[in-house]
Each structure stands twice: as structure tokens, then as C-alpha cells.
Amino acid sequence: MTQVSLSITAAFFFALSGAAFAQDYNAVPAGDSQYRECLVRVNKIYEGGNEKSPIRGQNKAQAYCTCLWNETPDDFRGNLSKFADSDRGKRIDKICTKYSDWE
């Protein structure tokens, strides 16, 4: 294989692994109050939350809040969306914005 072929092959497998990773979040339990609160807030202050996300069966707001719910520590009890808007939450917001394709 040439160097170009190896680079293309590596990029292909990296892209596949990224797509698989995006599907690996745990489902949010039905009725979870943090998740519901997140959906209400992001749909109230941002536009486009009802648009289709790259995650099958979820709109952008649902994908974003699912990501936030999974990315915050298990003992986090605050408002997920407010945390993502804070200085401490910027890294997670960036991850979840990309995950939901909500830019």
C-alpha cells in the first residue's frame, strides 16, 4: 500500500469509529427530570432544536441533552443546559454541539 492509500484507509476507519462512538451514549431513563429540564431550556433559548439530528430517532435538542446527561459526572444534580453554558461546561458543550450537529 502506498502512503496515500494508508492515510485514506486510516481516515476511513477513524470516521467509522467516530460514528460508532456517537451511538454509544446510554439512553436517558424515561421521566428523568434533568433531561426534561434541559429540553425545555434549550428549546426556549435556542433555535433549531426540533430539526433532525444525525442521531436516529432524536432531534437536535434531544441529542444535545442526551449527550449532556451522559457527559456530566454521575453525581451532578444541577441544570445540564446552564452547566454547558458556564465556563466549566464549555468542553462538554463543544462535544454535545458536535454530537447533535447543532451549531
Supply the DSSP string of 49-65, one letter for each residue. Answer: TTSBPSSTT-BHHHHHH
Is the pLDDT reported for residue 5 higher than 60? Answer: no
> Would you state the pLDDT for residue 59?
98
> Would you state the pLDDT for residue 103?
86
> Would you state the pLDDT for residue 17?
40
Q: What span, in angstroms and rounded, lies between the C-alpha atoms of 54 and 99?
A: 8
Summary mean pLDDT of the chain: 85
Residue 11 pLDDT level (bands cut at 50, 70, 90): very low
pTM over 0.95: no
Q: What is the mean pLDDT of residues 30-49?
A: 97
DSSP conformation class of 27: P
pLDDT tens for 43-76 read 999 999 999 999 999 999 999 999 999 999 999 9
Residue 64 makes CB contacts below 8 A (sequence gap 6+) with 38, 42, 49, 53, 96, 97, 99, 100, 102
Is the pLDDT reported for residue 15 higher than 90? Answer: no
Q: What percent of the chain has pLDDT over 90?
A: 76
DSSP conformation class of 89: T
Helical (H) or strand (E) element with 38: helix 33-45
All 3 cell numbers of residue 77?
A: 444534580
